[in-house]
Structure 1
Amino acid sequence: MNPGALLGAAVLVLVVAQATSQAALSDLTFTEVGVDYVTLSWTAQGDLNITGYHVFYQYSGGSRIGLSPPPAAGDTTATVRGLYAGVEYNFTVKSFGEDGEENGEVSGTETTAAAVLNTACDQGTMEVSIPLAALPGVVVDNMHLLDPSCGGTVTATHVTFSTNLMECGTIRQTSADKFIFINEAIATPVVLGSGALRGANFSRRFQCEFIRRFDITQGREVMHNIPPPSVQIEVGNNSLIINMNMFTSADFSDTYDTPDFPLRVTPSDRLHFGLSVASPLDNLELFALQCVATPTLDPDDSPRVSIIQDGCDIDPTLEKNAARSGEKALYYSVQAFTFPNAADNSLLYIHCTMLVCFEDDSNSRCSEGCISARRRRQAESVMSEHRVRRESGKEREIKISQGPVITEADKGKGSTFPTVGVAVGAVGVLTGALMMIATVVMLRTRRGLVTGNRANDCAGKKA
């Protein structure tokens, strides 16, 4: 027989064998994705004789690592831990037969969840909290700020640093309208007994930004916080990242970043903002329960204007972008106003209470949608019963801020700003230095977070 034909037949057999081997495993799926772990599952042919698996993973530029211990012969799922946050990994699952020969392979890529540093700023101090899950392979107990003498406080889930704005090596930068205070959280890698390094040097910058304003009555500069747009919270074994952003236009395609603040607008402008939740859990939804406006960071301060109340749109200028809004994101725009009787009517804050629910829970507050004042009165006893039931469960609450915005007079129209009365439900146009604060309440029943279908006329419902 022609040697060339024999060679061609051998190559054909090899190609067919490889194709069959790869087809023996299929449907590689990433069922859970966290800051430092990924859970994957796969499907094996029913008649395939499998005596064991190997799972390999690596990031770009890194070495291939094998999962230890590997999955058992009967497993079709595995969890890889100790990963770096916000990094894309390639995962490969290989199956083996009785003689140790490879008889199946499937691969795929997934990116771990981003680690969000929760930074809190006030007039005199700055504090940052870093999830331990974002610090694999580093010596957490020896972490410090730019000044090595300033260490952190380690808990079961986070390491937290707190410093005065002018201490611990904090760097101060000053611009025409801002103070910026910068520091870094620093860690060294774990050194094994053999002298090998397990991880890599860690350095993460964090900062607090403030607007410079001069208080004429007190004769001193006052700093107003420019908060970060994201906050991360832990729910069981999963992380939720709550985001609040302001957008440059009504199409909600581009967001303002922290360096863009303070934003400057005129009273004729509309302000566009969005809230969202990012989580490996697919069955969550956001519901806007309450939104009010006050001239200070206190949501209970007076004067006070309601924008959303009990899930109902109160402010007639409030518009929800139905095309972009969905289960995990809500997008709004509202026209500006200022408080006529506030001590400083250049400041305006919006405070929102958001519910995060499981969308398949028909008994949740989310499923009830908009509850008008009349409906509340008619069903007072029922609502009281519902509140008792919900409040008996575990609740999680988080505040997130965005802003500020400074309103300037329209050119050629003088310096007078339009104002509205401060009664509940007054027509709104957001002006002044705006900071939006969202309180996210996470309701738990015996099943977990609460959720359900939404009623009509609901500010938080998916249109």
Structure 2
Amino acid sequence: MASAVLLLLQLLLLTSLVSAAHHWGGTMNYAYKGRNPDGSYQISLRGKDTYDTCAYYHYWSCYTGNCGSATSRKLINIDSSTNTPSYESQWCQTETVETWRVPSDKPFLLRASSCCWITTRNSVSNWKLESLVDLGTRSDTGEPNRSPDIAVLPFVRIPQNCPRTYKLAASDADGDRVVCRYGNLPGVECDRCFLPSGFHLDPDSCTLRYQYTTANTYIFGLELVVEDHPRNTIDLFYSDGSSTRKYPLSANPTSPTSPPTSPLTPTPWWGWWPTTTTAAPATSPWWWMTPTHPGYPTSGSPLSKLPLQFAFLVDPAVPSCQEGLYLPQLVAPTPAEGERIMAEVNKEVEIRVRAQATHSAIQSLVVSGPANITKHKDTNNEFVLRWTPVLDDLGEHYPICFAVESVSGSSVYQSQMRCVLVEIRKEQIEATVTCTESTMKVEVDKTSLFGLQEDQLRLSDPSNTICSLDRHSNSSHIVAIVPLNECGTQIEEDDDYLIFKNEITTKEDNPNELITRKHLVEARFYCQYPKRGNVTLSFSAHRKNVTVWEKGFGTFTYQFEFYQNDQFEAKYDPNSYPLEFDIGNRIYMQLDASSSVNNTEMFVESCRASPYDNPNYHPTYSIIENGCGVDPTVQTYTPSNDRQFQFSMEAFRFIGLHDQVYISCTVMMCEAGNPNTRCSLGCSNSTRSSSFSRRRREAVVESGKHFVSQGPLRLKREADPRGGSAVNLNLNLVFVAGCLLAAVGMVCGVIIYKTKTSRVKYQPLPAYES
């Protein structure tokens, strides 16, 4: 009986080994996190592991030295995709964040090893990863040694006929020289320790070049190693009083190896499944071995050593390798390769990625980055990466790599891989943001604004008096209460959220000056509202009249209403909003201006339709531009006086998720009968209209432009065949009802300050510029 049970267990183990082909690659970084009260050391291990599910991770075990043990472990999903080779259903990259308690700061080795990779064309089967950790205090910085910051996409693909260069993310906060080589210790660093034909690896620049090889259903399993070496001879000092000397690399392959120190005492290690271990030679440990690959720089043992393994697929040939045709081309506002992005603790950093392709459809974004990074696709077909550092990330550097994927039929194409480095610093400007159903309230501590006062700062668009920072600020805080549709607030949308953004920035003393020597502050903030939820409170969406005071024109009020027919006598009851129309029904609208000054007339320069009551939303649908009707169904009527504008158009809806629209118009007042006003010009696409605004500085003959809107309008819905009302709370209901949703997100955006002196006018800084 016992033998039968043993046989069954052996069969189960064999079955698990045979069916365990699920590994796609992995990397690892470590970071020193300080001393524990008992004098031991605390480090953080961050392992990025890619498998065919999101449930697995590498088990790191001690091989040599006094490694201590893990005290906590978190497994977080980073990214996953079903755009895979035909024999695999998906890949999933996770990050395992482990806290280790280490007894001393002496160097030690960690290994992760088991079976099996997914089927590879270069016969890589077992995964073999090894990391060298050395926490010795450096003589050049006076700080514990830090490992390189490395990253790569978990899965890379390219058509067979398209040579491409991949700059691997590998940098070092200590300023060390970082080299990337192919693994050369069988059973330790790699399973099949040679770079496949068709590839070239430049160790010193960490550049992998794909040149050419035939297409194949199966992937290459690439097994790279990243090391850092001092640029000058340094010493590492340890808490037990010992030290070791580290030498820089020599460019001469025949130069002698640096002198070894005492070898470390080996201890057992293990993995998930039984494997065979290969011990390091007793007389010449591996970390003094000279790599045998031609051109690899020699001399000097590494300070750290980390694995960098990933899957690479060569697809069938594409008709053209020119980026922007089949292969996606990364375009602005995508950050440049190697961009350094400054982030602050507890403040979300945002990276925007955009790509274009004329012969394939942009589909998705592949990303590898720190735990809790998220990706979204907005309505402008831009991908947005968001990540919020926490206090434990202070002082760290995190590489983020990404590529855009497009599809054409059954073919999938990847853009270039691009990597940026995010550096986390402490909070620079202390701010609190509160989101309500119709406003954003931001409070900024004045002590963090470098002495700037509210009269030196402004919102994105301060033209309306409600946007003045003087209204609510006090002796200790700059306070702004910003309506969601005023003060230059920008609106963005992705699959899950509506996001309203604004910023506090410095005023320019004189717009004609070419330079400024003030601190240029940008305090970006936003409110984020879920698009899905249940609203239980009723509301009135009818827009109120807009009252404006302007020098030379006194007080005047704009009224924008919808009417039931072309007689413009019976307007819709404000309580009946949102109004419902069938597609093709004619919508009748009237704008009316009342003024305290006689001899004035109103002019409607533009009208647009948008899913939101916000003039900054893009894209919008133009109805009237430059005083001219551009929608083919627009009809205008003769009003009773010069302060009215009457028009109609056929009802429509926006394609996509939007089931309602707002109509928004830009209007202005002019001196009646004056031939030198924009009103007198009427419909015009010429540049003459701009000359009128310049002439306005000499004599007040026309007002500024004002924004008025009305809505929402909604398409009538058919009755629900299951009975009851077919309530479809869509995007604009979220805009109107804001915080009545099940949840409201609030984040204070990235806050940046900078002093510039240049020959050009001040331009708003991108979020990633330091």
TM-score clears 0.5: no
TM-score of the superposition, structure 1-length normalised?
0.38
TM-score of the superposition, structure 2-length normalised?
0.24
Larger relative contact order (C-alpha < 8 A, sep ≥ 6)? 1
For the pair shown, which has the larger CA radius of gyration, 1 or 2?
Answer: 2
